[in-house]
Chains A and B, each alone.
Chain A
Amino acid sequence: MIRPSLILEKRPSPSRFWATTTPVLAVIATMIAGGIMFWALGKDPIESIRTIFWDPLFHETFGPYSRPQLLVKAAPLILIAIGLSLGFRAGVWNIGAEGQYIMGAICGAAVGLAFYPTENILIFPAMILAGAFGGWAWAMIPGLLKTRFGTNEILVSLMLVYVAEAALASVSQGLLQNPDGMGFPGSRNFRDFPAAYNTELITGTGMHWGVVFAFIAVIFAYVLLTRHMLGFHVRLTGQAPRAARFAGVNPTRLVLFCLGISGALAGMAGMFEVSGPAGQVTIDFNSGYGFTAIIVAFLGRLHPIGILLAGLLMALTYIGGELAQLMLGLPAAAIQMFQGMLMFFLLAMDMLTNYRIRFTLKNA
């Protein structure tokens, strides 16, 4: 009997074509599967997909409002994901960017608020440094524990997220609480403090300092990975740790570098968010960017340009998701499912990069 069969064959070397095509295929597959899910929820699938992907940018009424949101939402995702990607490339799994993001926001905001209401041009740069420091210091905890005692950075960095969340709850009702806030939790609003406010640089674009730093981070990471010895060592450590040692890489320093830079970038992202779009330190100002950035990093194939595009796409699903909740009454969980599908399809399609599928007819 002749029986058709599918064979997976390992490619001699990974396919460049598929490495760039799979993210696009994953997005398309997500649209299809997501459409089916929306249909099962009783919504028009075409309209749902259009509301998520098209309306935020081109809808007559909502477009002008949501277009700037694209950069506002993409900037922290890109900033964090760039840092994470360097670690992921080296096999250093910082899962706790959310915690570093929160600590960066707390430190940055604290420095700014300490000077309230002084008007000085140096306050904002000092806040950026403080934000980066907060994230860096928080990431050094798993870093030092890993290099000194061999603890697992995945667990430690993840658990520190919950510690950071507790710290956030504490300061927004204590140390950083607005003295004029009549007992409400949350700090002063940075909108009332021009020297510390992360303002929109070009009106109507959503462009703030965080966006500028995100672009700088993309370029920095690109140059580092393709043109600098340190980037080569990062990649080498991830692919062949023994070879990296042989090439003279100091594993301890590399782990600390990767965790430090991802922490600092996450901390900066937190500072830009709290002093601009969020406006104040509140118990729940953080919107999970630190976790979503992990998806962004992988969706962008850990490549700086890929992460830039993936960050924009992920921001679009955020805005589109909100719009879909508003317009079509889609539940928030459905949007999260949708983002999860994206990750799922990406990882599944990833196989095509390393394997080819052959369809054959065989004698059974």
Chain B
Amino acid sequence: MEETRTQDALLTLEGLTKAYPGVVANDNVSFSILPGEVHALLGENGAGKSTLVKMIYGLVKPDQGTMTLKDAPFQPANPAAARAAGVAMVFQHFSLFDALSVAENISLGMDHPPKPRELTARIRQVSEAYGLPLDPDRIVGELSAGERQRVEIIRCLLQDPKLLIMDEPTSVLTPQEVDILFETLRKLTQEGTAILYISHKLEEIRALCEHATILRLGKVVDTCDPREKSAKELAEMMVGTTLHVPERDASEPGDVVLAMDHVTLYTPSPFGTDLRDVSLEVRAGEVLGVGGVAGNGQDELLAALSGEARLTSGSVLLNGVPIAKLGPNERRALAVLSAPEERLGHSAAPDMSLTENALLTAAVRQRLTKRGFLRWGKTEDYAKRVIKEFDVRTPGPANAARSLSGGNLQKFVIGREVLQKPEVLVVNQPTWGVDASAAADIRQSLLDLAAGGTAVIVISQDLDEILEISDRFTALNEGRLAEPVPTRGLTVEKIGLMIGGMHAPALEDAE
């Protein structure tokens, strides 16, 4: 089958190999992409997906191997060369200037931008043709994440690509926005454009892709037609072992431990989102899931609970006692712990060792200081304990946080809080960019914690994750929190509407 694929292929990779110090990111990778197909690239974090697409896009040069594009040798020296050959890429993290308009941003990303008026007309034309509503004159800072992604996509489409690479495109979109995106991608493939689609979301891949190449530890381990496989089968191919599905221990939730009462928080950041009149309650032994699309107040909600931000008004109560005026460490002393979304630079210091990173949040509760002096021995022991109990793959606690893969660092960050026996734990995006097996471990540890009586708040954009682990569900939309509803019986469609800003009561009326 691969042989016939190679004959008609748009892009063929043969024996691509790329090694970095200490790791072979891609080892003899070969496959082909046909014109007009949506080709999924599947693999855990660290499987080598990013390195592979970077080679195709000219960001990284392969050590060995060849690429053929439309029967001609393809060796892009840089992204501009790749674009000239008809390869375009939409990155997971957008590279847009908030202060500029859509048209100006698109113009900046083009190698030969047309005149502003022409460009505006073409943006309108492309956005209509592909069903991507976007006003070229709007300022990017005002756009939602989904709209920002459209800017990136239209920038690519204006260059008439033969191959469009998309890295985790749906991680920031609502289900409705995902539908619009898929519609666009299908239109593109009908015109013969091939799409190389990278995602962790197996259901999406099953819905969209006709062919999948599965990478594990830098090697191609399997290919398949994802439409013929179940999500579980795909995940097993990716992980190589049987996926461990977290088990719910249905226990009666206890008393209200943490409550937010009409909390309003004006963020100092010009592109942050203010929290408006947010009220919630979490009970002992309960997991409250907070859904919502990125940039709707998730970071601010975590900061309000961790003590990093001062409330504008409202109160936060722990067992009925106000704690809103307390800083992060005073809250830690009261067993209110948190793990922010951004691993490198927020929940962990990239260039510091794991021992030092253990000190970062565990100093108070683990008594790692004595009259301000550090107890390095005890700190190292704690770091080792986190590494051991949470199966963090690293040579030892002296290694820098940034040397760990995303999944391993996330296990360390979550483990660091879990082992401190929190009464309340707030996590933001606990499994963002984490491979399937590490994600399962992290979710299980959160469930175990709740089973032990901790009140857990999980802020996540991964709806499947929330449905899987939370008892009650709520969503953030433009800094407002929907009325929490029991997770049981909720469908993805209903959740999508809540995320879109329609609160639960309205939802019931709509039915």
Q: Is the CB of A240 within 8 A of B345?
A: yes
Tell yes or no: B99 within 8 A of A by CB: no
C-beta contact mask, A238-265 vs B, less than 8 Å → 1, else 0? 0110110111101000000000000000
Q: Is the CB of A228 within 8 A of B374?
A: yes
* A91 CB to nearest chain B CB (Å): 13
Q: Is the CB of B361 within 8 A of A247?
A: yes
State A227–B378 Cα separation when bound (angstroms): 13
- Contact A229-B372, Cβ < 8 Å, known A12-B22, A246-B308: yes
Tell yes or no: B233 within 8 A of A by CB: no
C-beta contact mask, B301-315 vs A, less than 8 Å → 1, else 0? 000001110000000
Tell yes or no: A11 within 8 A of B by CB: yes
Q: Is the CB of B352 within 8 A of A239?
A: yes
* Residues in chain B near residue A9, CB distance under 8 A: 20-21
Tell yes or no: A77 within 8 A of B by CB: no
* Residues in chain B near residue A356, CB distance under 8 A: 21
* A16 CB to nearest chain B CB (Å): 11
Within 8 A of A (CB), among B15-37: 20-22
* Residues in chain B near residue A14, CB distance under 8 A: 351, 400
State A11–B351 Cα separation when bound (angstroms): 12
Tell yes or no: B242 within 8 A of A by CB: no
Q: Is the CB of B347 within 8 A of A232?
A: no
Within 8 A of A (CB), among B73-97: none
Question: What class of interface size applies to chain B in its complex with A?
Answer: 35 or more
Number of A residues with CB within 8 Å of any CB on chain B: 23
Tell yes or no: B141 within 8 A of A by CB: no
Q: Is the CB of A239 within 8 A of B374?
A: no
* B81 CB to nearest chain A CB (Å): 16
* Residues in chain B near residue A228, CB distance under 8 A: 372-374
Q: Is the CB of B349 within 8 A of A243?
A: yes
* Residues in chain A near residue B376, CB distance under 8 A: 227
C-beta contact mask, B329-370 vs A, less than 8 Å → 1, else 0? 110100000001010111111111000100111010000010
Tell yes or no: A24 within 8 A of B by CB: no
Q: Which residue of B lies closest to A358 (CB)?
A: B21
Tell yes or no: A236 within 8 A of B by CB: yes
Choice from B327, B340, B347, B399 contacting A13 with Cβ under 8 Å = B399
Q: Is the CB of B329 within 8 A of A229?
A: no
Q: Is the CB of B21 within 8 A of A12?
A: yes
Tell yes or no: A230 within 8 A of B by CB: yes
State A247–B348 Cα separation when bound (angstroms): 10
Choice from A226, A230, A240, A245 contacting B350 with Cβ under 8 Å = A240
Q: Which residue of B lies closest to A241 (CB)?
A: B345
Tell yes or no: B328 within 8 A of A by CB: yes
Q: Is the CB of B372 within 8 A of A13?
A: no
Within 8 A of B (CB), among A4-30: 9, 11-14
State A232–B361 Cα separation when bound (angstroms): 12
State A250–B308 Cα separation when bound (angstroms): 10
State A235–B403 Cα separation when bound (angstroms): 19
- Contact A247-B328, Cβ < 8 Å, known A9-B21, A229-B372: yes
Within 8 A of A (CB), among B394-452: 399-400, 402-403
* B57 CB to nearest chain A CB (Å): 19
Q: Is the CB of A232 within 8 A of B345?
A: no
Q: Is the CB of B349 within 8 A of A236?
A: yes
State A229–B375 Cα separation when bound (angstroms): 10
* B194 CB to nearest chain A CB (Å): 29
State A239–B349 Cα separation when bound (angstroms): 7
* Residues in chain B near residue A246, CB distance under 8 A: 306, 308, 328, 340, 346-347, 360-361
State A179–B167 Cα separation when bound (angstroms): 78
* B386 CB to nearest chain A CB (Å): 16
- Contact A12-B306, Cβ < 8 Å, known A232-B359, A243-B347: no
- A interface residues (Cβ-Cβ under 8 A, vs B): 9, 11-14, 226-230, 232, 235-236, 239-240, 242-243, 245-248, 250, 356
5 closest A-B pairs by beta carbon, nearest first, are: A248-B329, A240-B349, A248-B328, A13-B400, A242-B346
14 A-B pairs with C-beta separation under 8 A: A12-B21, A12-B22, A13-B402, A227-B376, A229-B369, A229-B372, A229-B373, A232-B356, A240-B350, A242-B342, A243-B345, A243-B360, A246-B308, A250-B327
